[in-house]
Structure 1
Amino acid sequence: MHALYFSSLFLLSFLNIFAGKGDAEKAETLFVFGDSYADTGNHDPYNETLNQPWRKPYGLTWPGYPAGRFSSGKIQSDFWADILGLPSPISYEQLKNHGCGPNFKKIRQGVSFAVGGSAIFQAYGFPTVSQQVKQFKKLIAASPGFDSDKLSRSIVLISAAGNDYGALSNRRNGSTEGLEAAVKPVVSGIIKVVKDLYECGLRNFVVSDIAALGCAPEIGKKSCDSKYNRIIKLHSRLLTESLQHLRLHLKEISIIIPDMVSATNYIFSHHAQYGLVDLFVPCCAVKGGIRHCGEVDEKGKALFEVCDNVDEKFFWDFAHPTHRAWYALMSLYAYGDNTRGFSFIQGASNAIEWLHSLGFLAFNISLRTAD
């Protein structure tokens, strides 16, 4: 059944890609903002307190070594680039370390400003999404060739998966009490980011909804925790309403919202079909615990263990999906579930059709780990 499902998915995706191609062209550039669900390497690899995604065993599945991503392989930024037929977006940190000149071609195809731990407000001390927008403006001003036409034919990915709520909950010893009061300011901050980028000339936005906060790994856990449900529902409703307001009032703007909660719940409900086991047990963790993937002692001995079935795991570490899980999520965004008629994108039937509606080519994504 597992093989049959993905054979059918490939056929449907193949048909989607080549239907109505016409005079479509590739999108120009992918710009990425947000948190660890979109970070392609913006933690300093030389800072031992912050370089977790640059340590082994991160990158185990792809590219085979640590590449600055909080996963065993590709994350959504990489898969969105695959859909667009573009290379994975270069990290802003790499540009700072090596300069823009040698990387000019890469800049023109995609840049990720997202950094793990980021949020709308100062959740964990990392650059906020608004500060990332300032970095974008600085980079664009210093890089020739980004005229209004190029920017209007680019794609923006924004991931604010929930660090604001997680940080507040941590400060309250895991309680969700009072978190609802934070939802409106957080959503307003996301809307401000979209408007700021729109004023820069960008027009096409993928604004990811909140993550399934109650589904994070936990020892002994058998199902997703419902304590975040009110926060998730309120956040999703306000985000949808606010982005619809922008659609109605900002000329030529196009916005889709990947519904990560629905996609995660769908995968969990059909986990056997996806070949996934032990949904709430991460592949990489300290023995008997959840955190500390990549940690070593003073002698360099690993304090963590890595599972031998990473392709059967949804979570890589304490909060982040594996390469396999990101592929499953992105497949639902890209194609939906045509056999059941389900869509996991608000604002379009699926990502492929959205790109076609904009006049862009869209390409198949693959579980294979090669570029």
Structure 2
Amino acid sequence: MTKICHHFPFFIIIIFILGKLFPVVNGKVPAVIVFGDSSVDTGNNNWIDTSLKSNFEPYGRDFEGGRPTGRFSNGRVPVDFFSEYYGLPKYVPPYLDPSYGIQDFVTGVNFASAGTGYDNTTASVLNVIPLWKEVEFYKEYIKRLQSYLGEERANEILTEAVYLVSIGTNDFLENYYLLPTTKLCYTVPEFQDHLLGIAKDFVYEIYRYGARKLSLAGLPPMGCLPLERTINLFAIHECNEEYNNVALEFNGKMKNLVNQLNKELPGIHVVFSNPYYLVRQMVKKPSLFGYEVSSKACCGTGLFEMSYLCNIDGPWSCPDADKYVFWDSFHPTEKTNRILAQHLFKTVLYKFMK
């Protein structure tokens, strides 16, 4: 708990005040390549047969042009900001969007799919893209990039690119705590280890195809998501601390995995991007960041709405999303995404500029 109190406030207040003055650096990173779930999906779910979509109002109402894009937010998601901070385009295009071609993917490409997880069962819950399929798309992308730029230039980009990976929350909230069969197969520690084994295999696989600069994200305090607070039977509207403790334990193991990967794979540089303490601070002391509400979301009643339920309740969504930590019952507002991105870039991801 002391980490929550001492790691961030002054720094975060400063970057909040600076806002759009946040520095952008050009020329060092040629591309960002994204794998993961709805925390980083920029629109791939628009193009698959799933009920988990956000390509309708009020999603995207604060995005450029006020248009829904398939991002689970009122605006941009963290990887968009990371791309901008590396001096690349402000938006990372989703790989499955047919309006983009290989020329658009030279400086960034996004394979993420909302609702997915490390475990294949997680992706099957809402019929979204499993992580292994994201990797298959990546391999296909490599061939297209090599054909477009030539092997030498394409391989140079693949090696120098920053790979941003954000995934894992759904494995617990959509899978372990929802499906009785998973709970019968694993204890929590066993399931954590199962997921980390998949994460390790995933890194080994993309390493074989050129990945050298990777960020593996930890879990947020998932017990403080508005939906989890709504259904917390032991203390309604309070954070589910059991879920938060599971996230903390998983993050500790993920950090150990990052250290292990850096020792085992020659030439690789893996960093651990941990959102936990900053999000926890936002939830517990929202006024430090200029928020007014952290216990519920902007969309609808803010208690349980997500995806199409936000569409149903759209006209009743809050007028100013910047006053809220969460946009829907599961996902942050653009402001939260920006503050998280600024923090993680200045503390961790800047290292890839060296």
The bucket for the TM-score relative to the shorter chain is 0.7 to 0.9
1:10 corresponding residue in structure 2: 18
Contact 2:220/2:276 (<8 A) preserved? yes
1:233 corresponding residue in structure 2: 248
**Cα distance in 1 between the residues matched to 2:156 and 2:333:** 36
The structural deviation recorded for 1:38 is: 0.8
1:201 corresponding residue in structure 2: 210
2:6 corresponding residue in structure 1: none
Higher mean displacement: 203-212 or 224-233: 224-233
Structure 2 unmatched ranges of 5 or more:
1-8
Higher mean displacement: 134-143 or 314-323: 134-143
2:41 corresponding residue in structure 1: 39
More helix by share: 2
**Cα distance in 2 between the residues matched to 1:292 and 1:128:** 21
1:268 corresponding residue in structure 2: 283
| Paired positions, count | 326
1:158 corresponding residue in structure 2: 165
Instruction: Give, as a single letter, the amino acid of the residue that structure 1 aligns with 2:164.
Output: L
Q: Residues 289 and 148 of structure 1: is their aligned pair in 2 closer, same or farther, counting only changes over 3 Å?
A: closer
2:195 corresponding residue in structure 1: 186
**Cα distance in 2 between the residues matched to 1:324 and 1:41:** 19
Higher mean displacement: 103-112 or 229-238: 229-238
1:141 corresponding residue in structure 2: 143
Deviations 1:249-296 (A, max 9, x none): 2121111111111121232344212111220211003x4841245448
2:330 corresponding residue in structure 1: 319
**Cα distance in 2 between the residues matched to 1:295 and 1:45:** 20
The structural deviation recorded for 1:154 is: 0.5
**Cα distance in 1 between the residues matched to 2:101 and 2:166:** 24
SS of the residue 1:105 aligns to:
coil
Instruction: Give, as a single letter, the amino acid of the residue that structure 2 aligns with 1:225.
Output: N
SS of the residue 1:257 aligns to:
strand
**Cα distance in 1 between the residues matched to 2:312 and 2:114:** 25
**Cα distance in 2 between the residues matched to 1:288 and 1:196:** 40
Q: Residues 212 and 282 of structure 1: is their aligned pair in 2 closer, same or farther, counting only changes over 3 Å?
A: same
Instruction: Give, as a single letter, the amino acid of the residue that structure 2 aligns with 1:355.
Output: F
Contact 2:38/2:72 (<8 A) preserved? yes
Instruction: Give, as a single letter, the amino acid of the residue that structure 2 aligns with 1:186.
Output: L
Contact 2:299/2:313 (<8 A) preserved? no
Contact 1:283/1:310 (<8 A) preserved? yes
Contact 1:267/1:328 (<8 A) preserved? no
**Cα distance in 1 between the residues matched to 2:286 and 2:313:** 30
The structural deviation recorded for 1:316 is: 0.6
Contact 2:303/2:329 (<8 A) preserved? no
**Cα distance in 2 between the residues matched to 1:142 and 1:45:** 20
**Identity within the alignment, %:** 21
Q: Residues 190 and 44 of structure 1: is their aligned pair in 2 closer, same or farther, counting only changes over 3 Å?
A: same
Instruction: Give, as a single letter, the amino acid of the residue that structure 1 aligns with 2:115.
Output: G
Contact 1:29/1:154 (<8 A) preserved? yes
**Cα distance in 2 between the residues matched to 1:51 and 1:86:** 29
SS of the residue 1:106 aligns to:
coil
Contact 2:41/2:110 (<8 A) preserved? yes
The structural deviation recorded for 1:58 is: 0.3
The structural deviation recorded for 1:236 is: 1.4
Root mean square deviation of aligned Cα: 3.1
Q: Residues 294 and 305 of structure 1: is their aligned pair in 2 closer, same or farther, counting only changes over 3 Å?
A: farther
Q: Residues 195 and 313 of structure 1: is their aligned pair in 2 closer, same or farther, counting only changes over 3 Å?
A: same
SS of the residue 1:92 aligns to:
coil
Using structure 2 for the length normalisation, give the TM-score.
0.82
Deviations 1:176-208 (A, max 9, x none): 993332100101111111111111011000111
Instruction: Give, as a single letter, the amino acid of the residue that structure 1 aligns with 2:264.
Output: H
**Cα distance in 2 between the residues matched to 1:213 and 1:80:** 23
- 2:94 aligned with 1:91, yes or no? yes
Deviations 1:33-88 (A, max 9, x none): 010001000013585x5363101000011121101100010101111111111122
Using structure 1 for the length normalisation, give the TM-score.
0.79
